[in-house]
């Protein structure tokens, strides 16, 4: 088991790791839409989604994997009315890669953000 940490994503705000690598699987903790260097929180759901995904991708890349190694994401929204806007940014940033995903509405998220995204990525083995 290996702990993944990068300054290209916000530091954990509690007793947890940004990600944990076990064998060929990376478990990425929920990423908030906070800019890692400025601590600025974007206002719009589109900008929050973009920043959360950029943070998520930074953690994945710090592990030596790529966004195309992501096999599953969890998206947590404080208002499901934002689903279409979040989904448009999500589709843009993932492009042709389409991991499995769940998107749910929650009553509240840390730092009162509107979206949080977690992921599981797997190192592909060549056979």
Mean pLDDT computed over 69-74 = 98
Task: Give 17's DSSP letter.
Answer: -
Radius of gyration of the chain (CA): 14
Cα angle 36, 75, 19; round to 5: 50
Q: Is the dihedral of CA 38, 40, 46, 16 positive or negative?
A: positive
- To the question of pTM greater than 0.85 for the whole model, the response is yes
pLDDT at 20 (0 to 100): 98
Residue 125 has what pLDDT? 63
Q: What is the average per-residue pLDDT within 54-81?
A: 98
What is the number of alpha carbons within 13 Å of residue 87 lying toward its C-beta? 10
Has domain 2-122 been given CATH number 3.40.390.30?
A: no
- Per domain, the residue ranges of the chain are 2-122
Residue 76: C-alpha distances to residues 4, 27, 38 (Å): 22, 16, 23
Mean pLDDT over 13-39 rounds to 96
Residue ranges of alpha helices (H) inside the chain are 45-62, 83-94
Per-residue b or e along 42-53, where b marks 16 or more CB atoms closer than 10 Å to that residue's CB: beebbebbbbbb
Condensed to tens digits (0 to 9), the pLDDT of residues 72-86 reads 999 999 999 999 999
Question: What confidence score (pLDDT) does residue 13 get?
Answer: 84
pLDDT tens digit sequence for 3-18: 999 999 999 888 999 9
Burial label, 120 (beta-carbon count in 10 A; 0-12, 13-18, 19+): middle
């Amino acid at each position: 088991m290996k702990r993944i940490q990068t300054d290209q994503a916000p530091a954990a705000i509690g007793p947890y790791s940004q990600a944990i690598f076990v064998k060929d699987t990376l478990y990425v903790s929920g990423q908030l839409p906070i800019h890692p260097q400025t601590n600025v929180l974007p206002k719009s759901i589109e900008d929050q989604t973009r920043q959360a995904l950029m943070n998520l991708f930074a953690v994945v890349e710090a592990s030596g994997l790529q966004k195309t190694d992501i096999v599953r994401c969890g998206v947590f929204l404080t208002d499901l009315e934002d689903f279409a806007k979040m989904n448009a940014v999500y589709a843009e940033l993932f492009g042709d890669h389409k991991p499995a995903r769940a998107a749910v509405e929650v009553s509240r998220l840390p730092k009162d953000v509107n979206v949080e995204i977690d992921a599981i990525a797997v190192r592909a083995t060549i056979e």
